[in-house]
Amino acid sequence: MNFAEVIGQEECKERLLQMTREGRLPHAIMLCGPQGVGKKALAVSFACHLLGEDNPMVKKLEHPDLHFTYPTIKLPSMGSDHTPVSDDFAAEWHKLLMQGPYFTMDEWMTAMGGENQQAIITAGESDELVRKLSLKSSQGGYKVSVVWLPERMNIACANKLLKLIEEPPSQTVFIMVSEEPDKLLETIRSRVQRIDVRQLPTETICRALIERRGISEEAAHRISRLANGSWLKALQELQVGTENEQFLDLYISLMRLAYQRKIRDLRKWSEVMAGFGREKQKRFLQYFLRMTRECFIYNFKQAELVYMTQQEEDFARNFARFVNETNILAIYDLANRAIRDIGQNANAKIVFFDFTLQVIVLLLQK
């Protein structure tokens, strides 16, 4: 895997290469930014660069000095005293990564065989890292540890990783990939060199869709605007029967039932939502936020500011007037509280039923 597989992000690529050329490579780097902008792709490509891109083991991502850490779950088949670590899912991780470095947490959960669980990085993982990185480099060069989503470390793991970063083994480079760096310990954030990976320009996504996916310029332009700077979102828009279509149906159903005050039907709607895995529940709530924002903007009748599919716009045409200055901020706060509660493993049926009742009140505000 090399930098040619990374969509855009030329400035970040050059910054990483320049640090290597000038001999000032820090022992810990953290690539930060929203989902889908290429952080994981940059991390893996840079790790391969450090270990030698021409090495056959590097090309297959099987180099003995390349270590991956990522969130895991506990499967029913695991013993009660077993703490899950990355090595438990090494085959699944390798298969997914070899298909391409752009994938979501939900795709990773599916690969692991997880459903309604929260994936975390356990204290056992940091113990494994200490063991692996204490060994001498097999090739006499760098040992590289790529940590995907370090914000999902539990506190015990975070404290152990902090000690490892404070006193890193010789010629060890940590490359962290974070979407929510503020959730990390301040002491960890202060000991890494942060590189912000920004949203991709619409033009970059459009060109990549044409060159790499072979779609028409018109379709690429529409999809690249909807992608909002994320290559992952662009790929999702390409898929037939995307999840967003299901989310739109759920959004329309919620808003209609809430407006009509159909409490029993809203309870059924809540039960449907509770049946999804927690990662999917959070993605729906993010979609809810985006769609609500688009409905609010639609009222200004400025087409260049609206980022919706034709189906979304068809619904917004009649619904948008119910999202206005009196309720938009309260709706945003409501959805963000639900995202927080789901992330903290609250009872999903209760969270979503309360959510629907609050939507009734907010929609009727004048």
Per-residue pLDDT of 309-330, as tens digits, reads 778 889 999 999 999 999 999 9
**Spatial strand order in the sheet of 172-178:** 66-69, 143-148, 172-178, 28-32, 193-196
Residue ranges in the chain whose pLDDT is less than 50? 240-241
What local confidence, expressed as pLDDT, does residue 242 receive?
65
What local confidence, expressed as pLDDT, does residue 198 receive?
95
- Cα 194 off chain centre by: 18
Distance (Å) of CA 152 to CA 26, 40, 178, 240, 255: 23, 15, 9, 31, 33
> Are 120 and 153 spatial neighbours (Cβ–Cβ below 8 Å)?
yes
- Convert the pLDDT of each residue in 71-87 to its tens digit: 999 988 888 888 899 99
Helix (H, G, I), strand (E, B) or coil at 53: coil
Q: What are phi and psi of 140, to 5 degrees?
A: 80, 10
> Are 229 and 199 spatial neighbours (Cβ–Cβ below 8 Å)?
yes
> Are 66 and 144 spatial neighbours (Cβ–Cβ below 8 Å)?
yes
pTM exceeds 0.75 for this model: no
Alpha carbons within 13 A on the beta-carbon side of 313: 11
> Are 69 and 175 spatial neighbours (Cβ–Cβ below 8 Å)?
no
What local confidence, expressed as pLDDT, does residue 118 receive?
82
For residue 354 the two structure tokens come to 């309360």
DSSP label at residue 36: T
What local confidence, expressed as pLDDT, does residue 116 receive?
64
Partners of 66 in the beta sheet? 144
What local confidence, expressed as pLDDT, does residue 136 receive?
85
CA torsion, ordered 326, 331, 333, 338, to nearest 10 deg: 160
Helix (H), strand (E) at residue 67: strand 66-69
- Percentage of the chain modeled with pLDDT above 70: 98
Count H helices, E strands: the chain? 17, 5
Q: Minimal CA–CA distance to 280: which of 240, 231, 244, 307?
A: 244
CA torsion, ordered 98, 102, 104, 105, to nearest 10 deg: 50
How far is it, in rounded angstroms, from Cα 297 to Cα 320?
A: 8
- Polymer length of the chain: 366
What local confidence, expressed as pLDDT, does residue 311 receive?
84
> Are 285 and 339 spatial neighbours (Cβ–Cβ below 8 Å)?
yes
What local confidence, expressed as pLDDT, does residue 95 receive?
95
